[in-house]
Amino acid sequence: MSERSCLAIVLAAGEGTRMRSARPKVLHEVGGRSLVAHVLDAVRAAGSTATAVVIGPDAEAVAAEAKHVLPGADIYVQSERRGTAHAVLAARPAIERRTDDILVIYGDTPLIRPQTLSRMRAALAKGAAIAVLGFRPRDPSGYGRLVLAQGELVSIREEADASADERAIDLCNGGLMALAGANALAILEQIDSNNRKGEFYLTDAVKIARAMKLKAVVIETDEDDVRGINTKSQLAEAEAVLQQRLRKAAMDAGVTLIAPETVFLSADTKFGRDVVVEPFVVFGPGVTVDDNAVIHSFCHFIQSHIGKGASVGPYARLRPGAELGANVHIGNFVEIKASVIEEGAKANHLAYIGDTRLGAGSNFGAGAIVCNYDGIAKHRTDIGKGVFIGSNSALVAPVKIGDGAYVATGSVITHDVPADGLAIARERQVVKENRASRLRALKGAGKKKAAE
Ligand code: UD1
Ligand code: CA
């Protein structure tokens, strides 16, 4: 397959008005990734050698996302919405380069699997001029129907133009099409707009190919592959399907998910071997978990790395740039942002650590926090190896705590502490003997008076 060149044309000009959103449709997300990014990932994985993204006018944000995901993608603008074939021809310069295969795919079908695209390409390699992706939806209304004769595809009838007999066909057009590059332009140029909607239908390519004595075939797949997103409900349905796939892939790769249906993954979540994830954990984008780590319940992670054998949670929050080394322990109600927690360090209870290095083997006590923000700018804290930060301390950044230092409980640290230094930065305790009973008597008298 790889020796055949392949152009993928991604149609992303949809207005997406039914999303009721200011955001372009294909920039909505499933699995923490935009719809169009999923499609671009799939065409790349299916071996495309060039990619053209067709966008609507004023869709710079879509162009930027496409370039971000696939820097080599070429952007074409369809300035008027005149049908799917018209959209494909917006990428004419790319088509004229005559790759072996051309894949046309919609930017709002994020669940398309690379192996499905590969099957379509394989049909071209076997001599078909067109391969159409067919499926049997529970409710076929709105879809183009695939008209077959002797196992070959004869035409696609859009619902608006179909007869009653044709509407009874349950095999529908999923919308994806593979065309042999050698004939593609000749076919596309013959498509007209003589139909109910007055649009240039890509689907007419089939009957034109037949008239040219070329072969068209159907590749059948399941509904999930071709799910197009038009509404927020469909977005949520696609998310559910994607989550099932991601959970299964993680378990197939050896991750233990105790209650998989309660764990939410991102398309790019990466796990090592023998990781255990307890129920109710959310993995946002950009999270990597190394071998033997244990993630306890109710954690939320974004753009973070969890080292080998680490134990995290329950109730831990890792924000962008949290880097946990091997065997680190992060306990309940601990938030970490843009910080390196070195091997074996611990923050077991109720802590905030931001813009910090916490050295190897150090202990960050219960309720201790780093004050990294002074209301104007963020500042760094550097804590060495083997340091003890006493409970409920506040480290006012920028500040450095040397190796082996000891910060007494309840300290407010505003100056650097040298290696092996003991810092006590709190009010001295005062004890007044035999005064507790007097205090109670005094307060009791006051209360009685107030009640009178
Ligand atoms: C299309 C198919 C139909 C198929 C269905 C599957 C045609 C004529 N019909 O119908 O057979 O069952 O998809 O979902 O192809 N687009 C543009 N520019 C345009 C028109 C469309 O970029 O001028 C893009 C849209 O953004 C969308 C895709 O092409 O991503 C499909 O267009 P849409 O109008 O939704 O086609 P359907 O009527 O759903
Ligand atoms: Ca559609």
CB of 202 shorter than 6 A to ligand 1? yes
Output the six-digit token pair for 8. Answer: 């993928």
| pLDDT greater than 90 at residue 74 | yes
Pick from 451, 306, 304, 385: nearest CA to 296:
306
Cα(408)–Cα(424) distance, rounded to whole angstroms? 5
pLDDT tier at 100, thresholds 50, 70, 90: very high
User: pTM score > 0.75 for this model?
Assistant: yes
What b/e string do you get for 324-361 counting C-beta neighbours within 10 Å, with b at 16 or more?
bbbbbbbbbbbbbbbbbbbbbbbbbbbbbbbbbbbbbb
- Within 319-442, strands assigned E span 322-324, 329-337, 339-341, 346-354, 356-358, 363-364, 369-371, 381-383, 388-389, 394-396, 399-401, 406-407, 412-413, 422-423
| pLDDT greater than 70 at residue 393 | yes
What would the mean pLDDT of 160-171 be, rounded to a whole number? 95
The DSSP 8-state label assigned to residue 161 in this structure reads G
CB of 173 shorter than 6 A to ligand 1? yes
Residues carrying an active site annotation: 349
In angstroms, what is the span from residue 52 Cα to ligand 1's centroid?
17
Tens of pLDDT, residue by residue over 291-305, are: 999 999 999 999 999
Q: Which residues contact 144 (CB under 8 A, 6 or more apart)?
A: 156, 157, 158, 159, 172, 173, 203
Q: Are strands 356-358 and 339-341 parallel, antiparallel or unpaired?
A: parallel
Residue type, 280: F
pLDDT of residue 2: 58
Of 38, 62, 82, 84, the residue with max ligand 1 atoms within 8 A of its CB, to mutate for a pocket test, comes to 84
Partner residues linked to 277 by β-bridges: 257, 295
CB of 390 shorter than 6 A to ligand 1? no
What would the mean pLDDT of 404-426 be, rounded to a whole number? 98
Half-sphere exposure of 381 (CA within 13 A, CB side): 31
pLDDT of residue 450: 83
CB of 411 shorter than 6 A to ligand 1? no
Cα(58)–Cα(206) distance, rounded to whole angstroms? 32
Closest atom, ligand 1, to C-alpha of 15: 26
| pLDDT greater than 80 at residue 265 | yes
Q: Are strands 363-364 and 339-341 parallel, antiparallel or unpaired?
A: unpaired
In angstroms, what is the span from residue 18 Cα to ligand 2's centroid?
11
| pLDDT greater than 80 at residue 307 | yes
Structural contact between residues 10 and 105, judged by C-beta atoms closer than 8 angstroms: yes
| pLDDT greater than 60 at residue 1 | no
**Sheet (strand 304-306) strand order:** 270-271, 287-289, 304-306, 322-324, 339-341, 356-358, 381-383, 399-401
Partner residues linked to 234 by β-bridges: none
Average model confidence (pLDDT) across the chain: 96
Structural contact between residues 261 and 278, judged by C-beta atoms closer than 8 angstroms: no
C-alpha dihedral sign at 152, 157, 158, 164? negative
In angstroms, what is the span from residue 172 Cα to ligand 1's centroid?
13
| pLDDT greater than 80 at residue 16 | no
**Percent of the chain residues topping a pLDDT of 70:** 100
Task: Find where tokens 């997300």 sit.
Answer: 29
pLDDT tier at 452, thresholds 50, 70, 90: confident
Element (H, E) at 443: helix 436-451
Partner residues linked to 91 by β-bridges: none
DSSP assignment string, 253-305: TT-EESSGGGEE--TT-EE-TT-EE-SSEEE-SSEEE-TT-EE-SSEEESSEE
Whose alpha carbon is nearest atom 21 of ligand 1? 84
Pick from 350, 269, 286: nearest CA to 322:
286
Cα(35)–Cα(229) distance, rounded to whole angstroms? 9
| pLDDT greater than 90 at residue 91 | yes
Pick from 173, 227, 179: nearest CA to 203:
173
Q: Which residues contact 120 (CB under 8 A, 6 or more apart)?
A: 103, 131, 133, 176, 178, 219
Of 25, 53, 80, 106, the residue with max ligand 1 atoms within 8 A of its CB, to mutate for a pocket test, comes to 106
CB of 16 shorter than 6 A to ligand 1? no
What would the mean pLDDT of 318-322 be, rounded to a whole number? 98
Least confident of 39-53, 102-116, 437-451: 437-451
Partner residues linked to 263 by β-bridges: 281
Cα(447)–Cα(208) distance, rounded to whole angstroms? 96
Tell the burial category of 202 from Cβ atoms under 10 Å away from its Cβ (0-12, 13-18, 19+).
buried
In angstroms, what is the span from residue 228 Cα to ligand 2's centroid?
6
pLDDT of residue 237: 96
Closest atom, ligand 1, to C-alpha of 173: 12
Structural contact between residues 94 and 76, judged by C-beta atoms closer than 8 angstroms: yes
